[in-house]
Amino acid sequence: MLVVLKIGGSVISNKNEPYSLRADYLRKLGPILREFVRKGNSLVVIHGGGSFGHPKVKEILEKGSDLRREGWDVVNLMLEMSLRVARELGENFVVHSSSSIWCSSGPFVRPILDSLRLGWIPILQGNVVYPGRVLSGDEIAVALARELRADYLLFATDVDGVYDEWPQGKPLKYVKACEVSAKESDSIDVTGGMKKKLEEINKLPPTICARIFNGLVPENVEKALYGEDVGTLVCPC
Ligand SMILES: Nc1ncnc2c1ncn2[C@@H]1O[C@H](COP(=O)(O)OP(=O)(O)OP(=O)(O)O)[C@@H](O)[C@H]1O
Ligand SMILES: C=C(C)CCOP(=O)(O)O
């Protein structure tokens, strides 16, 4: 079984407090992910910008600069975030730079496959890529799920799934990506929140669906990894 898991920045950091990593959460999550791989499965983890990437990009744009000039600062910050995430998750996790594997045609997957062959767990991150644009972890997750022919594509985020109406509605069990009108995130966010996730999921081939669920509860991540019904199953239209 090969699973691509995008862990939202809203899960591993507090998006309302700059540069805040949820270390305790990651220490609980590490053994769950490791055990999944120990059982003979393959796992690729992508994390979002959370309270690191999003405020940094906003700061650069608000002072009138742009990511062609100052994107390097975001790249290095996101790699620092990934290294901290990897350290808290523990053994076997290895950081790959999304900026280094992303080509104009999509991801160059060879280095990721090599890590998987060694039984390691690659970590990538939403980041700035050439020629100076923000590449969301959501886009990376969808592209990798397609390229690696993943069995499951999972999005752990800070809400119980896709709501029929945000915020006053309720989470849906199943939805087609083009049949619900999602909005952006309520926190500082430069990539488009749930709306962006659904747009990206809609680019999947018809054979792959994605699951969006509340990853703040580590047990939910475990359930989703083993194919249990948590959150919302989202299929392309
Ligand atoms: N219909 C909807 N259902 C659920 N959440 C929605 C909906 N519309 C908008 N949202 C917002 O989208 C947010 C989730 O997207 P967001 O991009 O913040 O998550 P993430 O991927 O976990 O974080 P990051 O972008 O930092 O990786 C929710 O917290 C909520 O504020
Ligand atoms: C803001 C940056 C640098 C990455 C955004 O990735 P996302 O949080 O997955 O959308």
Minimum CA distance residue for ligand 1 atom 22: 8
Ligand 1 atom nearest to 155, measured from its CA: 21
CA distance 166 to 80: 33
Q: What's the residue count for the chain?
A: 237
Q: Residue 114 Cα, ligand 1 centroid: separation in angstroms?
A: 32
The whole-number mean pLDDT for each consecutive block of 10 residues of the chain, a chain of 237 residues, reads: 97 92 98 98 98 96 98 98 98 98 93 98 98 97 97 97 96 96 87 94 95 98 97 97
pLDDT of residue 144: 98
CA distance 9 to 188: 11
| pTM > 0.90: yes or no | yes
Does residue 95 contact residue 86 with C-beta atoms inside 8 Å?
Answer: yes
Instruction: State the residue range of the domain holding 195.
Output: 2-235
Q: Residue 38 Cα, ligand 1 centroid: separation in angstroms?
A: 31
CA distance 170 to 78: 33
ipTM above 0.95, yes or no: yes
CA distance 79 to 77: 5
Ligand 2 site residues, Cβ closer than 6 angstroms: 9, 48-49, 53-54, 57, 74, 78, 126-128, 134, 136-138, 190-191
Does residue 69 contact residue 34 with C-beta atoms inside 8 Å?
Answer: no
CA distance 100 to 97: 5
CA distance 4 to 91: 19
CA distance 93 to 105: 26
Q: Which ligand lies nearest the alpha carbon of 76?
A: 2
Ligand 2 atom nearest to 196, measured from its CA: 10
CATH code, domain carrying 30: 3.40.1160.10
Does residue 54 contact residue 8 with C-beta atoms inside 8 Å?
Answer: no
pLDDT of residue 187: 84
Q: Residue 54 Cα, ligand 2 centroid: separation in angstroms?
A: 6
pLDDT of residue 15: 83
Q: Which ligand lies nearest the alpha carbon of 132?
A: 2
Question: Which residue of 158, 168, 195 sits with most ligand 1 atoms within 8 Å of its CB, as the best mutation to test the pocket?
Answer: 158
Q: Residue 191 Cα, ligand 2 centroid: separation in angstroms?
A: 6
Minimum CA distance residue for ligand 1 atom 11: 185
Dihedral angle over CA of 110, 26, 234, 124, nearest 10:
-20
| Burial label, 27 (beta-carbon count in 10 A; 0-12, 13-18, 19+) | middle
pLDDT of residue 95: 98
- Number of other residues whose CB lies within 10 A of the CB of residue 184: 14
Does residue 108 contact residue 119 with C-beta atoms inside 8 Å?
Answer: no
Ligand 2 atom nearest to 74, measured from its CA: 3
Please count the structural domains in the chain. 1
pLDDT of residue 202: 97
Query: Tokens in use for 93?
Result: 């996790």
Question: Which residue of 74, 142, 185 sits with most ligand 1 atoms within 8 Å of its CB, as the best mutation to test the pocket?
Answer: 185
Does residue 99 contact residue 73 with C-beta atoms inside 8 Å?
Answer: no
